[in-house]
Every structure is written in structure tokens, then in C-alpha cells.
Amino acid sequence: NAGVTQTPKFQVLKTGQSMTLQCAQDMNHNSMYWYRQDPGMGLRLIYYSASEGTTDKGEVPNGYNVSRLNKREFSLRLESAAPSQTSVYFCASMERYSNQPQHFGDGTRLSIL
């Protein structure tokens, strides 16, 4: 019953540092997503991967890169962290062309000093 697993759960970075957020799903879903959640703004899509081998920008992609490593894993990289990227990051997955909802991980709480 793992579903969507995100690592790490918490991280503190200094401005300019880089890091990669990991996401893995065990539901054999085709589509995977990265969102950020900020107070009063709901969830905003950063990048998504409709299927293995493809990635596309969402609403707020600047400052981020992604890699769809295989069908299970979708990572989010911050090359040079900025305080504006302090947020809670959620990964989600979904079966493409289905009427099923997205499944979410528990989030990564990232603070950039």
C-alpha cells in the first residue's frame, strides 16, 4: 500500500545550493506530476510527465528541472535554490486516459534560507 513515496520529507537549504526531490509510485501509472503548495495559492503545477520518456512544463516551471527516470520515478531538481522556492512540494501520479483521480504523496517541506 505504498502508493506515492516522496523523499526527503523535510529539507533545509541555503540559497544557491542544489538538490533533487525524489518521487516513486508503485501503481504502474503512466502520468506523474510535481506541484508546489503555498499558503493561499492552492496547488500549482510545476512539471508533469504524461508518460515515460516525456516531460512538459506546467504553470510555474522556472527554476526547476525534472527527470522521468523510468515509469516509476519522477524527480524534481532545484539547480540553484532561492528563498522564493520555499514551499511544500507534492508529487502525484495517475493512470492516463482513465477516469481515476490523482494519487498524492505526503509532500516534501523545503525551506531555503
Partner 1 sequence: AQSVTQPDIHITVSEGASLELRCNYSYGATPYLFWYVQSPGQGLQLLLKYFSGDTLVQGIKGFEAEFKRSQSSFNLRKPSVHWSDAAEYFCAVGASGGYQKVTFGTGTKLQVIP
Residues in the chain: 113
Which of 70, 106, 111, 113 touches partner 1 by CB under 8 A? 106
Task: Give the amino acid at 28.
Answer: N
Query: Which of these segments, 15-23, 36-44, 63-71, 77-85, binds partner 1 (CB under 8 A)?
Result: 36-44
Instruction: Please tell me whether residue 31 binds partner 1 under the rule CB under 8 A.
Output: yes
Strand (E) positions, 1-113? 4-7, 10-13, 19-25, 31-37, 43-49, 56-57, 64-68, 74-78, 87-94, 103-104, 108-112
Instruction: Please tell me whether residue 48 binds partner 1 under the rule CB under 8 A.
Output: yes
Pairing of the two strands 43-49 and 31-37:
antiparallel
Which of 96, 110, 112, 113 touches partner 1 by CB under 8 A? 96
Instruction: Please tell me whether residue 97 binds partner 1 under the rule CB under 8 A.
Output: yes
Which grid coordinates are listed for 8? 526527503
Task: Give the amino acid at 10.
Answer: F
Instruction: Please tell me whether residue 53 binds partner 1 under the rule CB under 8 A.
Output: no
Site residues for partner 1, window 71-90 (CB under 8 A)? 90
The contact set with partner 1 (CB under 8 A) reads 31, 33, 35, 40-45, 48, 50-51, 90, 94, 96-99, 101-102, 104-107
